């Protein structure tokens, strides 16, 4: 898997301390938990459990969508951005995310299709950028309070 070849340097660790880049939703959630816990520890503030849950859900949805619709996660970053968590997930697809109607053309309920609306609802800023080598990067900022 391509992700395992990439390394990430945490903003909370000394330069040169590398960690495998998250490829799966569970790995992305753990990276978000570590970043938020470290921020709360260094700022001596309590972590808002609901805000953390929102950030974990957005990380999970973005990585799941990259796997299901984008040809896999090619990059993942998590940063604390002032009062929020900035999540960036890159994949191989140039296709923009879409919100699917809840029913198909025959009126039958569709399964899935809830991830992108969840990301948009829980994030205060969502951006989709084309990558120079192809693919896209989706960046979402989820408030921590």
pLDDT, tens digit, 9 for 90 and up, residues 29-66 = 999 999 999 999 999 988 899 999 999 999 999 999 99
Tell me if 41 is assigned to some domain: yes
In whole angstroms, what is the distance from residue 124 CA to residue 57 CA?
14
Q: Is residue 103 part of a domain?
A: yes
- How far CA 89 is from CA of 29, 47, 109, 118, in Å, comes to 12, 23, 29, 15
Sequence-ordered strand ranges (E) for 14-97: 18-20, 73-81, 84-91
Residue 10 resides in a domain = no
Is 91 strand, coil or helix? strand
Query: pTM (2 decimals)?
Result: 0.81
Say if strands 73-81 and 84-91 run parallel, antiparallel, or are unpaired: antiparallel
Residue 8 lies in a domain: no
Q: Give residue 2's pLDDT.
A: 35
Domain annotation covers residue 11: no
- Name the domain count of the chain: 1
Mean pLDDT of 9-29: 62
Residue 13 domain-assigned?
no
- What's 129's domain CATH number? 3.30.565.10
133 three-state secondary structure: coil
Contact between 66 and 59 (Cβ < 8 Å): no
Q: Which domain holds residue 82?
A: 22-143
């Amino acid at each position: 898997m391509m992700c395992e070849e990439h390394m990430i340097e945490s903003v909370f660790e000394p330069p040169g301390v590398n960690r495998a880049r998250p490829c799966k939703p569970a790995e992305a959630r753990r990276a978000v938990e570590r970043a938020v816990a470290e921020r709360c520890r260094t700022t001596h503030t309590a972590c808002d459990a609901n805000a953390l849950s929102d950030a974990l859900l957005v990380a999970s949805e973005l990585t799941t969508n990259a796997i299901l619709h984008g040809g896999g996660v090619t990059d993942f970053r998590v940063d604390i951005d002032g009062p929020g968590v900035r999540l960036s997930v890159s994949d191989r697809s140039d296709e923009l995310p879409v919100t699917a109607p809840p029913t198909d053309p025959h009126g039958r309920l569709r399964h899935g299709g809830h991830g992108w609306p969840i990301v948009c609802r829980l994030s205060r800023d969502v951006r989709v950028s084309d990558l120079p080598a192809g693919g896209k990067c989706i960046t979402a900022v989820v408030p921590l309070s």
